[in-house]
Amino acid sequence: MRHTLLTEFMIQAPYQPATNYWRAVEVEEVIKRGLPEGRGLDLGCGDGHLMAIILANTGARELTGVDIDRSETVLAQKRNIYTDVVTAPGDCLPFPDSHFDFVFSNSVLEHIQNILDVLKEVRRVLKPKGHFVFTVPGPDFHACLKGPRTPEMREQYLRETDARCFHLRYWGQQEWWENLRAAGLQPVHQHGYLTKPEVQRWEFLASMTSVILYRLTGRRKQPIEIQRRIGIRSSKTRFPRALASLSARILDFGSPSGNSPCGCLLIEATK
């Protein structure tokens, strides 16, 4: 399955092989866990490509997409997988109380400053017994990175990685459980994914692509802003399927094995 998923990501975004590798591992976990049934909200939907891949493997859902970035929601509207797409921040969702059967959010919450406000909004728009499923980097992410080993150089490397990825937190079960409960949500499941060898595969790929772009553009831009600035985030930037499939085989060659620690978490809570 991973090869198929990675191929789909490479078709649309051949310029970000590291992110595509991470997302292929991530989406495989989401598909294995299963997307809840009913009316759903894709919180931080981006351009909708990731959700389109999930739906192709789980079946269609009645979905609304929401993202704070207007440029992304414009793209998401063109995919025909959402009944509606709106531009709004996560702490001020323009939906009625108890409106959705589930909320899904993929690698979004680690970027949000006022996380508790967003969790409270998720609870508000969920129906009673509704599900909240999300993925985030976990507390072992730093430990999974290879990077330099000397203390001073490693500290600088970790700071630069966090800044480049715009990661604000690496909570574990205790922090997530406490904040979910503070927002009125009940945690029901958590498991790790993206093993240490897989994190280091992503790290190696990033070192040859996004890291270079990040340094060349002044270390102040988010990855998506860098892509727009140099003109590669465009519907014209596509790989033919055969080339994307070959690229996927190369990127995932050897399929690094290992169990723990894991760099990311998939978490589910209910209202």
Q: What angle do CA 181, 186, 187 make, to 5 degrees?
A: 100
Alpha-carbon distance of 164 to 219, in angstroms, equals 7
**Residue 255: pLDDT band with limits 50, 70, 90:** confident
> Residue 132 — φ and ψ, nearest 5°?
-120, 115
What pLDDT score does 89 carry?
A: 96
The predicted model scores a pTM of 0.89
C-alpha pair distances (Å), 60 with each of 54, 140, 175, 182: 9, 34, 33, 32
User: What pLDDT, in 10s, does the model give residues 13-71?
Assistant: 888 899 999 999 999 999 999 999 999 999 999 999 999 999 999 998 999 999 999 99
What pLDDT score does 235 carry?
A: 55
**Domain holding 224: CATH number?**
3.40.50.150
Residue 11 in contact with residue 24, Cβ under 8 Å?
no
Least confident span in 33-42, 49-58, 190-199, 225-234: 225-234
Alpha-carbon distance of 138 to 170, in angstroms, equals 5
More confident residue, 217 or 63: 63
User: What pLDDT, in 10s, does the model give residues 202-215?
Assistant: 999 988 765 445 55
User: What pLDDT, in 10s, does the model give residues 75-93?
Assistant: 999 999 999 999 999 999 9
Residue 221 sits in which domain range?
2-270
Average pLDDT over residues 125-141: 98
Nearest to 145, CA basis, from 159, 166, 132 = 159
Residue 110 in contact with residue 267, Cβ under 8 Å?
no
Q: Provide CB contacts within 8 A for 127, sequence distance 6+.
A: 98, 99, 100, 101, 271
User: What pLDDT, in 10s, does the model give residues 140-167?
Assistant: 999 999 999 898 899 999 999 998 899 9
Alpha-carbon distance of 248 to 245, in angstroms, equals 5
- Mean pLDDT for the chain overall: 89
Q: Provide the domain count of the chain.
A: 1
